[in-house]
Chains A and B, each alone.
Chain A
């Protein structure tokens, strides 16, 4: 049970200041990135009218997200499509990584979802200022009445907290449950099913929810 709450660290020293890196999260994130780079290279190596299986998988994935982004934003160009799809792809494989022995989910570390949540927050608000104009953007905070302003700001910040804690709580909760149940049943029978449920099923749903909410926050801002 001692695994709960233990984090391996890399510490870099810059004079008096030190930077702490979570070793496991970093390596696992690089594995996810390597996976997608490899997938993209293999899928686009020989593109044909009649696609090979890998190419049709990539087309299905990209095409679905293209439709989703188009439906919710109603823009003529594809400027938000790469960002939203990348968020989904990154978290999708990240959440499923724990199924493979000796690997663990980088999303189990709050820093991963929080950084992408903050990124989505800035993208959404920058788009809001750009599409509506600075004045209309600021005016949005004073609705319905002017003294609601502080609560509106807290509400916006709470979106970042809720989007990142949702993913983090689900993935960390899943991995803790798998750990405790494996300990209780001496790793017999149950763990594969739990891995399938939390890793593959819940992981896919939560990655989709994260990307979809990022998209929704952008679409709320630009309207």
Chain B
């Protein structure tokens, strides 16, 4: 019995579920309406973009890297697609979504090429491209915005429409989750990410190409940012130059909260989704507990640090247990 409890406590995803439940209950004391189905639906919809981008971030972190350029990639692809929509309203939205993904893929591939073939560490690469892509956004837009009345109705409806009563944006997130889940769990390439992140030498021995994997994860992360760029600009009916500034922190936070090891090689997609939802709840709860949105940044920073510290402490404890139990 005691052993079972121990096992439950060691399961990070379960821990997070418990923590989320506690958080929800605490908030609902303050505002019972928070737990209404409609509100929950809204929280999930609000978190949809984060889920998409965080699952790309997951792949990068699994290899032991980090992608700090996600916010800028979202901004650039969102701006590019919005401007296309503005000046060529006749282009069908399906094609726009496709173009958004394509642009994001190209930016991600640039990151991937620097890391995989130029051996530039991920932090440096993406710290650089974070500025470069943001700068390109300004250059492209000449500092101007694309606002709601310059976008077509069809474009703004990409996330807003509903299917069977569920908002499209949520459905997109579910689709991304499904594809990514399949990719990570049921393809060789997906498993190779864990190999490279877990033990580079061993990966080399079994013929897994570190270069290929590194290039792949950044490219996929870029593609998801591209999709997110379209969703973001369409949802908020505005493409501004500052779109998604600081979003990289939220994606990393979702991963860390979901139990992904920043050293690489360990972490699950389900964990990341739950980490993202946890952040979504916090963001949505701020007005409920009478905190101004200006608190968001500080609280996120605090949550990230707390999550990292908790993860590390738990890991160290588990390691000690593991060692003590392994022999004698």
* Bound together: no
